[in-house]
Amino acid sequence: MRALLAVPSLLVLAGLTVPAAAPVGQDTVCGSVVRYASMRSDEVNLRTGPGVRHPVDWVFTAKDLPVAVTAEYDNWRRICDWEGTIGWVHKAMLSGARTVVLTGELRTLRRDPTAQAPAVVRAEPGVVGELLRCDEGWCRLDVRGYRGWLARDEFWGVSPDEKAVE
């Protein structure tokens, strides 16, 4: 009888790591991604597992920071940030607002989606911007009130074929 009780427990644990929806794509940092979201608050506890009984491993202190949702369990979401930090947060701590974080080096937002277009503004890595839309390798962003285009490989927070709409 004990062997029969152990099997359902293993199935429940295995379910914690399986995404609840079909992935939107592979992320180079986080792996399989269900969707992207952003932090709803400027203080979000990242836990080691889904539930308040699991200890807080990290505290995010940046509202609007983009995250990849990699799995769902009840009201909990396993998330990953652009630096590869992984943990669980309650779904109420996430927003559907789409944001991205600039990566690499100093980046130039451009007036049009070409490398030759005039510059709108230059921004440092780690700056968060609002995702407006994407077209063929470029995305239109709003970074602190400045709107411009940035090549997809210059920031993190979108799937490869995504076309967000303004």
71 DSSP β-pair partners: 78
- H or E segment to which residue 57 belongs: strand 56-60
Share above pLDDT 70 across residues of the chain, in percent, rounded to a whole number: 83
Classify residue 153 by its DSSP letter: G
pLDDT value of residue 29:
79
Predicted structure pTM score: 0.82
- Give the three-state DSSP class for 123: strand
Q: What is residue 12's predicted lDDT score, i.e. its pLDDT?
A: 34
Q: What percent of the chain has pLDDT over 90?
A: 73
19 or 86, which is more confident: 86
Q: What's at 57, amino acid-wise?
A: D
Whether residue 126 contacts residue 101, with contact meaning beta carbons closer than 8 Å, is answered with: yes
Instruction: List domains and CATH numbers for the chain.
Output: 18-97 (2.30.30.40), 100-156 (2.30.30.40)
| pLDDT tens-digit series, residues 22-71 | 455 677 778 888 899 999 999 999 999 999 999 999 999 999 999 999 99
63 near 53, Cβ under 8 Å?
no
Q: Report pLDDT for 161.
A: 76
Question: What pLDDT shows up at residue 154?
Answer: 96
51 φψ region: left (φ > 0), alpha (ψ -120 to 50), beta (else): left
Beta strand 138-143 pairing with 128-135? antiparallel
pLDDT mean over 93-117: 97
DSSP element (H, E) containing 8? helix 2-15
Query: By the 8 A CB rule, do 71 and 14 touch?
Result: no
